[in-house]
Amino acid sequence: MNRVLSGAAWVAAVALLVVSAAVIALSRGETINALWIVVCAVCAYMVAYRFYGLFIARRVVGLDPARTTPAMRHNDGLDYVPTDKYVLFGHHFAAIAGAGPLVGPVLAAQMGYLPGVLWILVGAVLAGAVQDFIVLFASTRRDGRSLGDMVRMEMGPVAGVIALIGVMLIMVILVAVLALVVVKALVGSPWGTFTVFCTIPIAMFMGVYGRFLRPGRIAEMSVIGFVLLMAAIVLGQPVSESPTLAPLFTFSGEALALMIIAYGFCASVLPVWFLLAPRDYLSTFLKIGAILALAVGIAVVQPHMQMPSVTRFIDGSGPVFSGALFPFLFITIACGAVSGFHALISSGTTPKMLENETQARLIGYGGMLTESFVAIMALIAACILHPGVYFAMNSPPALIGTDAATAAQTIASWGFAITPAELEQIARDVGESTILSRAGGAPTLAVGMAEILSGLIGGRGLMAFWYHFAILFEALFILTTVDAGTRVLRFMIQDLLGTAVPAMRNTQSWGANLVATSLAVGAWGYFLYQGVIDPLGGINTLWPLFGIANQMLAAIALTVCTVVLFKMKRQRHAWVTILPTVWLLICTLTAGWQKLFHPDPRIGFLAHADGFSQALAEGRILAPAKSAAEMSRVIVNDYVDAALTGLFMAIVVAMVVFGVIWVRRALATPGVTVNEVMGGQAPAGARHA
Amino acid sequence: MREAYDLYLGLRRAARLMVGVPDYDTYVAHRRLNHPEEPVMSYEEFFRFVQDRRFDGSGPPRCC
């Protein structure tokens, strides 16, 4: 009877999926309720989890409930602890959820909501969740080894080094592009800048409180921190309206970039308990809370999608990012559909806490589906805005000018009628002087979230509060990533330099610490500053680079998964990882190629450099440069970006070549050649504590 | 009532693990059972220990 009931429920889920997809597909030329997209997504996830996830668990990798996990073998009560699957799901989700799935879909909304929704759903089900799941599985069978270790174990030391360099480069670009998102959100916004500045003393107070006054009382210090944060948002309004205080918190992009660079340096040499850890508590809890609030908000408010399902910008002429739907949509929405970064998390702390191998499906596959749902919500938040508002916020001043009248006129000429008064009204609603050219995704998401949350609580009167709440929530966890990312980079650099100069490896030494931190901050600071002074907004250049890097990492992770499947002699089902690997290769290599050699200077780095070189030779000065020296710097930046893109492409090609070599070797060997750690073995490196 | 309390404890454990603080009771139980002769960290020591370790470069980086 139960089986019949459950069968009926699944038929109902599939039917609902079909109906909601049909509603989305057939509503041509009229707005649809965002709830249809939510229903479609949830049904797609349920069906995928129940059928494809189970297929992978049973047939493709063959999860074995009788096999001991690292948590069982090395149980030390601390790192290796068998953990309840729902508790572990929370841990894993909090670790993979970041700013990526919030920003990417917002940028991709320029092509309409349909391409984004489809890629987020199909990508997560067939690529992203598969990657997270199989990497988690593979790491669990190898004592919770990291991705880099697994590449070394299964594909040799050279492949391991290449993968590590890839990870290091992606960290640099990630921190730079996320810092740029914060800069873009805070330029000329005294309210936002004031509240974000306030997080620093608030976190320090929490740090001292949780370390010395009331050690370890996480809930207490988080509640105190939260109340202070809310107070900071409320106080931000009078500050932004005060003629004496507002100028103190109004900065240009360049100034903010230098401040974030200095801040990143300080934050990563200070002890973690003082600034990083307490802000991590705030940002983690706020992130989970804001995601839940957004889900409730969309369900209750049921906004309509104002953005057309597909816009004319699929041809690549869009103002938000340049490049056609293929391949750039698939690069822009990286996290949320497939994110190579998750492979680092799935091979991090999570595999050390699995109670049973079979739970890898819920945590790996299910965790990514949940992340994908966050991306769907971000896309909804961007698409319920008037398209005119969306394009006003996301187009660079070089295209729409700097006043509402010009902007409205330009955007109307693109086919999205809007009046200057409407643009000014939105700015007043959210308590900002202007909403023009607030690129980077965060402000757009914040306006969308403010629309939804003010519909839930407070009405129009609280729009400005919710807007700055959303900005703060994004800035908070982006800055946590900036700190933590700088720290990780610092350790990677120390490790790398340590091979040449052993003294560099000492993480306790101040000298080595300062040198490595300076290198780390200098690397991402360079790209951040370059992005800030870019007349097309920087996001235009950096986000595709980040997308390419992230998809490149995913291709590496999926290649390892494929090699593992072949070595396990499970190649019959290896198409499950080969399919997304091939797709990612096509996307990253095409996008990389176009970023290098596309004749349109808005897309191709080399074409852009050529344009500037030619102008320089003729003695002309092109914006943003104001002198010949700055012209030369723009050209250098272009070549650096081009070199980096080329490097990403070389890394991914090299990894695939290694993958093919190892697959052939596995095929030529009759037995199973995989390097798994078996149940009864002794702990690898006795654990301390 | 009992279920509600268990749910509260589960949520609490999940929230703490999200910020890198494992379950202290599990740690104590493990130490008592497996290393009865060795000292056990107090909750305060335990908290400082795991807090320092969360960002020491041994774990995975934070996500995008």
Q: Is B49 on the interface with A (CB under 8 A)?
A: yes
**AA identity, residue A445:** L
Q: Would you call B43 and A216 a contact, using CB atoms and an 8 Å cutoff?
A: yes
pLDDT per position as a tens digit, A297-327: 999 999 999 999 999 999 999 999 989 999 9
Q: Is A505 on the interface with B (CB under 8 A)?
A: no
Q: Which residues have C-beta within 8 Å of that of residue A187, sequence separation ≥ 6?
A: A251, A252, A253, A256, A438
CA B52 to CA B61: how far, in whole Å? 15
pLDDT surpassing 70 at residue B63 = no
Q: Give the residue-averaged pLDDT of A173-181.
A: 94
Nearest CA in chain A to B10: A87
Q: Is B42 on the interface with A (CB under 8 A)?
A: no
Secondary structure string (H, E, C) spanning A664-676: HHHHHCCCCCCCC
More confident residue, B61 or A374: A374
pLDDT surpassing 90 at residue B44 = yes
**AA identity, residue A478:** I
Q: Is residue A686 part of a domain?
A: no
Q: Confirm whether the ipTM is greater than 0.90.
A: yes
pLDDT surpassing 70 at residue A470 = yes
pLDDT surpassing 70 at residue A511 = yes
Q: Is B38 on the interface with A (CB under 8 A)?
A: no
More confident residue, A196 or B53: A196
In this complex, which of B19, B22, B30 lies closest to A284 when CB atoms are compared?
A: B19
Question: What range defines the domain where residue A373 resides?
Answer: 2-188+251-668
Q: Is residue A330 part of a domain?
A: yes
What pLDDT, on a 0 to 100 scale, did the predictor assign at position A506?
83
Q: Give the residue-averaged pLDDT of A497-513.
A: 85
Q: Would you call A277 and B54 a contact, using CB atoms and an 8 Å cutoff?
A: yes
pLDDT band, very low/low/confident/very high, at A464 (cuts 50, 70, 90) = very high
pLDDT per position as a tens digit, A95-128: 999 888 999 999 999 999 999 999 999 999 999 9
Q: Would you call B52 and A97 a contact, using CB atoms and an 8 Å cutoff?
A: no
In this complex, which of B10, B18, B21 lies closest to A84 when CB atoms are compared?
A: B10
pLDDT per position as a tens digit, A629-643: 888 988 999 999 999
A678-682: long-range contacts, CB 8 A cutoff, minimum separation 24: A679/A67, A679/A68, A679/A73, A681/A73
Q: Give the residue-averaged pLDDT of A586-598.
A: 96
What pLDDT, on a 0 to 100 scale, did the predictor assign at position B64?
63
Name the percent of chain B lying above pLDDT 90.
Answer: 72
Residues of chain A contacting residue B39, judged by C-beta atoms under 8 Å apart: none
Q: Is residue A120 part of a domain?
A: yes
CATH of the domain at A123: 1.20.1740.10
What pLDDT, on a 0 to 100 scale, did the predictor assign at position A677?
84
Q: What is the mean pLDDT of chain A?
A: 92
What pLDDT, on a 0 to 100 scale, did the predictor assign at position A684?
44
DSSP B42: -
pLDDT surpassing 50 at residue A655 = yes
CA A547 to CA A172: how far, in whole Å? 13
What pLDDT, on a 0 to 100 scale, did the predictor assign at position A683?
43
Buried-state track A22-46, b at ≥16 Cβ within 10 A, e below 16? ebbeeeeeeebebbbbbbbbbbbbb
What pLDDT, on a 0 to 100 scale, did the predictor assign at position B17?
94
Q: Is residue A240 part of a domain?
A: no
Q: Is residue A266 part of a domain?
A: yes
Q: Is A289 on the interface with B (CB under 8 A)?
A: no
| pTM attached to this predicted model | 0.95
Q: Is residue A221 part of a domain?
A: no
Q: Which residues have C-beta within 8 Å of that of residue A204, sequence separation ≥ 6?
A: A274, A275, A278
Q: Give the residue-averaged pLDDT of B35-59.
A: 88
Q: Would you call B51 and A272 a contact, using CB atoms and an 8 Å cutoff?
A: yes
Q: Is B22 on the interface with A (CB under 8 A)?
A: yes
pLDDT surpassing 70 at residue A152 = yes
Residue-by-residue DSSP string for A177-219:
HHHHHHHHHHTT-HHHHHHHHHHHHHHHHHHHIIIIISTT-HH
What pLDDT, on a 0 to 100 scale, did the predictor assign at position B6?
93
pLDDT per position as a tens digit, A63-96: 999 999 999 999 999 899 999 999 999 999 999 9
pLDDT per position as a tens digit, B8-28: 999 999 999 999 999 999 999
Query: How many domains is chain A partitioned into structurally?
Result: 1
CA A122 to CA B40: how far, in whole Å? 49
Nearest CA in chain B to A492: B57
More confident residue, A3 or A554: A554
Q: Is B40 on the interface with A (CB under 8 A)?
A: no
Look at residues A464, A498, A579, A525 and name the one whose alpha carbon lies nearest to residue A127: A579
pLDDT surpassing 90 at residue A252 = yes
Residue-by-residue DSSP string for A106-142:
HHHGGG-HHHHHHHHHHHIIIIIHHHHHHHHHHHHTT
Residues of chain B contacting residue A491, judged by C-beta atoms under 8 Å apart: 56-57
Q: Is residue A685 part of a domain?
A: no
What pLDDT, on a 0 to 100 scale, did the predictor assign at position A127?
97
